[in-house]
Structure 1
Amino acid sequence: MVIQLAIMGLLAALLPLATVWASRDEDKYRKLVWVTLFLTFDLIMFGAFTRLTDSGLGCPDWPGCFGHSNPLQAYEHISAAETAMPSGPVTVMKAWIEMIHRYLAMGVGVLIIAIMVVGWRKWRRSLDRSSRFSPGLPTALFVFVCVQGAFGAWTVTMKLQPVIVTIHLLLGMTLLAMLAWLGARQSHHAPVDAVGYSLRVPASLALAVLSIQIALGGWVSTNYAPLACMDFPLCHGQLVPDMDFANGFHLWRDLGKTATGDYLPFSALTAIHWTHRMFAFFVLGFVAWLGYRAMKVEGLKPTGRWLIILVIAQFLTGMSTVFLKWPLALAVIHNGGAALLTLLLVMLNYKTRLARRTASEPMPVFSATTRTSA
């Protein structure tokens, strides 16, 4: 079974690797990084789809499905479980969704191994040992994807325990951010005005604030609390409804249970939803302000503009999930919006770092002779 699963991971990585190899782009390493980033974004979206369709236990063991490498071989076991409980966590459809998610994850793992191997080779062959081919980040990516795989396994074996599933989501977003930084390091960027150096702290804070909001959103999703407040902007007709923060934000507990094993009260779900909703206003204001500031800096205008557009769109999709009773497609798009915001803020942080370099370099002195020759 393990060998068959390894083959499935190689097959999942075969098409993107072939695309990179056949590309006319002379810088195939850069192409490989960006293709891997794109597939990691797709994996996050499909992971959200897996979670939101309640398919996380479609195959209740790991790494295979009832001891097999694919649902076809495990069809008898899956059918028996579905017959016993038609609306339960194990169905044929949910098993395929879960295993496709695992195949994609293995494919991304293979691509990251390829990035690490090629990065080390290029760094050893490079005469200037430039930071572009520094193997530190690719190696960290490999370690990180192994940790992410472990949390993926624990997600199943610990029966969707909310804190494990939320950490799994955060690790996926961090992996995406690391790939974005590596991709930015391979790409050419327009010169950034030295004024952009002043945005380095706000850009870092914005990324931290967004990470907190993503964690809160993951906590809402993994505790099945998106519809705990059915109205907006109020919750149960109140600005501050009855809430149980102690049970709602107790991290180490089973799904749907309190730390003592009792059923989680609805007021705890309300507290989870309400906290995510209220913090969203702060994220909207801070990121929009940062985008506005970035639009005034030469070299950061497109990034700032897209930040404003995307954070407003993300806020609107969040509200729409309440008004439209949490439709699946909109909920997946909302997860994708969080990933795109992460990418944009990583790029903004990278560009402000370039501005710091620009600010630290001595300004060229132009003499009359230089101006004449120009």
Structure 2
Amino acid sequence: MIHAQASPATYRKITVGALVLLTLIIISGGAVRLTGSGLGCPDWPACNNDQLIAPLEVHAMIEFINRIITGLVSAIVIATVLGSHWRVPRRVDLIWLSWGLVTGVLAQIILGGLVVLYELPPMLVIGHFLLSMLLLWNAVILHWRASADTRPHRDNHRAHWLGNALVGLTSMVIITGTIVTGAGPHGGDEKAERINVTIRDVAQIHGTTVVALLLMLAGLMLWLRLRSAPEHIQFWSRTALGVALAQGVIGYVQYFTGVPELLVGIHIAGAALLWIVTVFYWLNLRGPLVAPQPIVTATTIVP
């Protein structure tokens, strides 16, 4: 009987693949919505009635390609689970995190089917996007923890709680952004219903959360610099602030130029990037990865 094995380096490459594909599915899902292709394949799991492959029509092909990427995501997630069991040495935390991806993808498939069958209700579309962000969170942690046979060590509780606050505020930015989108013109299909709120009001709320996030990131960067924090943490601090600033600029430009599809698509990709950077920043604020201490028992022989 052949026993498969995977080195830590090999498994980490698998986690990179999972992170990339889970990001790509967010971008392709945005393309579906922005091109009005949400009902390009009106049935699920087949594209149209009993026709599995989409016809050569733009909207149908865009939706079909998105479903293909979903299949690739499913494959890489299965690989992360198998790899976590084959990895030498095996680690329980990586196994649990990989199964978290499986659970999330299954939920995504079910929710995606409901989105199509119920013809793109905005609250289901929002839920689908937020679940994608939750999967990204899981994938980033899995990749970070798979870096070596180590565990996180909290050496600064204040930084730990500031990191938690940062994740919470970034979550609010993303959630309010989805509500703005749900009230806006790009619903995935001309007949798709929209959230019955004034887009100007929700955009102002979203903008307020963005400003609050920028102020927090700037203040946190200054605090870390004054405390002479390790360079890798300051790197993530600068990166997070830069991405957030770029997102803010894109958001304001798209709002005042009538939300053109291209800028909205860039903004969606930027939201995924901001979330990934924020989670990495949060993980580094929680403390460095350190080697577990050896367990000393009564039978340990001391030379």
TM-score band (shorter)?
A: 0.7 to 0.9
Alignment match of 1:302 (pick from 210, 235, 256): 235
Alignment match of 1:332 (pick from 265, 271, 280): 265
1:119–1:134 Cα contact (<8 Å) kept: yes
1:223–1:255 Cα contact (<8 Å) kept: no
Segments of structure 1 that go 5 or more residues without pairing to the other structure are: 1-24, 76-91, 227-253, 258-263, 362-374
- 1:26–1:195 distance in 2 versus 1, CA, 3 Å: closer
Partner in structure 2 of residue 41 of structure 1 = 23
> CA deviation digits over 1:296-349, x for unaligned, max 9?
411301111101111111111111102332222221111111111111121122
The yes-or-no answer on 1:57 pairing with 2:39 is yes
Question: Within 2, Cα distance between the matches of 1:222 and 1:215?
Answer: 11
Deviation at 1:60, TM superposition (A): 1.5
1:288–1:311 Cα contact (<8 Å) kept: no
Alignment match of 2:169 (pick from 177, 202, 209): 209
> CA deviation digits over 1:15-43, x for unaligned, max 9?
xxxxxxxxxx9821110110121121111
Partner in structure 2 of residue 199 of structure 1 = 159
Deviation at 1:194, TM superposition (A): 7.5
State which structure, 1 or 2, has the greater radius of gyration over its C-alpha atoms: 1
TM-score if structure 2 supplies the norm length? 0.82
**More off after superposition, 159-168 vs 50-59:** 50-59
* Higher RCO (CA < 8 A, seq sep 6+): 2
1:180–1:346 Cα contact (<8 Å) kept: yes
2:8–2:148 Cα contact (<8 Å) kept: no
2:12–2:143 Cα contact (<8 Å) kept: yes
Alignment match of 1:178 (pick from 138, 150, 170): 138
Question: How does 1:277-296 map onto structure 2 within 5 Å?
Answer: 277-295=207-225, 296=228
Question: Within 2, Cα distance between the matches of 1:291 and 1:164?
Answer: 36
Alignment match of 2:74 (pick from 105, 109, 117): 109
2:94–2:142 Cα contact (<8 Å) kept: no
Question: Within 1, Cα distance between the matches of 2:255 and 2:210?
Answer: 14
Question: How does 1:1-40 map onto structure 2 within 5 Å?
Answer: 27-40=9-22
TM-score if structure 1 supplies the norm length? 0.67
Alignment match of 2:119 (pick from 144, 159, 171): 159
Segments of structure 2 that go 5 or more residues without pairing to the other structure are: 1-6, 187-191, 294-303
The yes-or-no answer on 1:69 pairing with 2:52 is yes
Deviation at 1:102, TM superposition (A): 1.0
Identity %: 26
Question: Within 2, Cα distance between the matches of 1:136 and 1:195?
Answer: 25
The yes-or-no answer on 1:94 pairing with 2:59 is yes
1:162–1:255 Cα contact (<8 Å) kept: yes
Question: Within 1, Cα distance between the matches of 2:216 and 2:182?
Answer: 26
> What secondary structure is seen at the aligned counterpart in 2 of 1:96?
helix
> What secondary structure is seen at the aligned counterpart in 2 of 1:135?
helix
How many residue pairs get matched? 276
- 1:130–1:188 distance in 2 versus 1, CA, 3 Å: closer
> What secondary structure is seen at the aligned counterpart in 2 of 1:65?
coil
